[in-house]
Amino acid sequence: MDLFRDWYANVTANWHEAFHDESFRRYFPPNFIVCVIVYYMVIYFLNQNSGRPGIIINDPVYIYLTPHDFSAGIFFFTYSATLLIIIYILHYPFLLQRALMAFVAVFLVRALCIHLVPLSPSPGIIPLVDPVTDTLGHEGRIMNDLFFSGHVSDIATFYLLCRPIKLKRYLLLCMAMVGILLVWQRVHYTIDVLAAPAFSYICFWFFVEKDFIWKPFLKKPQFGRSRDHSLAE
């Protein structure tokens, strides 16, 4: 209970400080809204695109893996990583401001790649059961959102955003396990999983590390834990 109280007190203080910054107060709410809108726009596109024929890849890794339903394991690793990064990033409102744009970029780049690289799933696919995405965006009906993996790219972005070494190690484990289980279940091809971290890093570099979008608008951090977040540490 004391741990939760300390966490809550720190988060409250950091957000109180952040909203004293006029530029943050002006840009954060629309930034958050844009992220949500883009997410649902991409889901709408994927649903509309779900009947589009594509190429079936003869993935050599499939030879060594008999398909099984690992939906529960994928759910655990995905959402334990999600919960931990939420708990972490709430300490850093200014980092979250930039991270939202990184996720917008990942959503849009992934939609573009799915459009430009039309793939169909393996005939041996076992559909992934994810009650969260099925509820939020009816993603359970989408089967051909293959190149590149949304699960892996999200966790890769989580990994890039945080700096505590223990958390980074756990997120790396989650990313590896989710990637392996998605391929094993035939939900994704190997190339979908391997390409995802590269696209995540490009979006992270542009919107978080270099901060090309918000740097001209948000004041340079001077003090306070909400702003004191060096990605190099």
Q: Give the pLDDT of residue 7.
A: 87
Domain residue extents for the chain = 2-49+62-209
C-alpha 80/C-alpha 154 separation (Å) is: 13
Q: Give the pLDDT of residue 171.
A: 97
Amino acid code (one letter) for 12: T
Q: Which residues, other chains included, contact 62 with Cβ-Cβ below 8 Å and sequence gap of 6+? A: 122, 124, 183, 186
Which residue has tokens 């989710």?
Answer: 178
pLDDT at 141 over 80: no
C-alpha 200/C-alpha 92 separation (Å) is: 20
Average pLDDT, the chain: 87
pLDDT digit string (tens) for 216-231?
Answer: 555 444 333 444 454 4
Report pTM: 0.87
pLDDT digit string (tens) for 65-123?
Answer: 999 999 999 999 999 999 999 999 999 999 998 899 899 999 999 999 999 999 999 98
> Mean pLDDT over residues 130-157, rounded?
83
